[in-house]
A = this chain, B = another copy of it.
Amino acid sequence: MVNRIPGAEVVALSDVLPEELAKVAAKFNIPATFSNYQQVLERPDVEAVAICTPTNTHYQMVLDAAAARKHIFCEKPLDLAIDKIEEIDARVRACGVQLMVGFNRRFDPNFLKVRETVQSGRIGVPHVLKITSRDPGIPPEGYIRASGGIFLDMTIHDFDMARYQMGSEVTEVYARATVLVDPVFEQAGDWDTAVVTLAFANGALGTIDNSRRAVYGYDQRVEVFGSEGMVTVNNNTYDSHICLDRTGTHSSLPLNFFMDRYTESYLREMQAFVEAVQTRKPVPVTGHDGLMAVVIGLAAAKSVRENRTVKLSDLYDGSKSG
């Protein structure tokens, strides 16, 4: 990707693992490396930074980068606590830098086409949003334990997608989750299977279903139903072949790995960040977007635990002002 975004140059790289750091720098011809990210922030030739570290480091790094007047791309979630994300959002504004949150799926050509179709009015007023989001396989146990749970790690993408597609804030959440895939989730106090109902400020309804393991691949579908029609997307498959034999009609599975499935969206996401920095236009995914997805995720987890509807305004005062 380093070489594929015209106008951007990677001038410095920082990582706490020295070997990784050297290897990646060599592979992509990155001139300067540092074990301490502060040194990157000190460089005058650095205009913007991309923070792709574990969630618990985001808060401090974003604040430091903002203080150093660097524009910031940060992977989701910004943090697991609402007040810290609010603080982040306030500080980057105060420092006059841009903060873009890594909801890469917004840049996927299929999901973008759904949004364009909805925005164009072609399906009329949106009534029902449906998202199916199933991972192809379970992450390592260590990752699960540090992930913040299914709603803040996995469904968070769908919560952002929901807001993106409907162009309206979520007001209430009802979620039901369970462990059907692997007991490791139960041991981590997490769930692997979930169904979520969303109510939107515009009166529409939404439903999300998640599983941590779809044996047939990465299942990522979005559908918006409206007063004048419906738009949906199929999964991306390895190829488009169809084979018919005595046993049936057979074709390829959905892509199985997120790097394959979302290659294009990762590239377009970073292009959009670079372009926003260069043109001083607003980034397309803001700190507010990062905040709201976390609020919905926390509401969903609370809903499962208490088996009841949770209003977003109970968790976050500003939920209606977005």
Contacts and interface: CB of A to CB of B under 8 A. Distances in A.
Given A110-B240, A227-B180, A127 B193 contact: yes
Interface in A217-250: 217, 219, 225, 227-246, 248-250
A70 to B, nearest CB: 26
Contact of A253 (B194, B249, B307): B249
Task: Report, as a range, how many residues of chain A touch the other chain.
Answer: 35 or more
B205 A230 contact: no
Given A215-B227, A232-B241, A180 B197 contact: no
B246 A249 contact: no
A113 B249 contact: no
Interface stretch (A52-60, A84-92, A206-214): A206-214
A87 to B, nearest CB: 33
A39 interface: no
A243 B180 contact: no
Contacts of A125: 180
Nearest to A308: B308
Nearest to A192: B127
Work out how many copies of this chain go into the complex. Answer: 4
B225 A243 contact: no
B225 A245 contact: no
B251 A117 contact: no
B176 A199 contact: yes
A25 interface: no
A101 to B, nearest CB: 24
A252 B114 CA distance: 12
| Chain B CB within 10 A, most for which of A209, A244, A309 | A244
Interface of A: 3, 109-110, 112-114, 117, 122-125, 127-128, 130, 132, 134, 174, 176, 178, 180-181, 193-195, 197, 199, 203-207, 209, 211, 213-217, 219, 225, 227-246, 248-254, 307-309
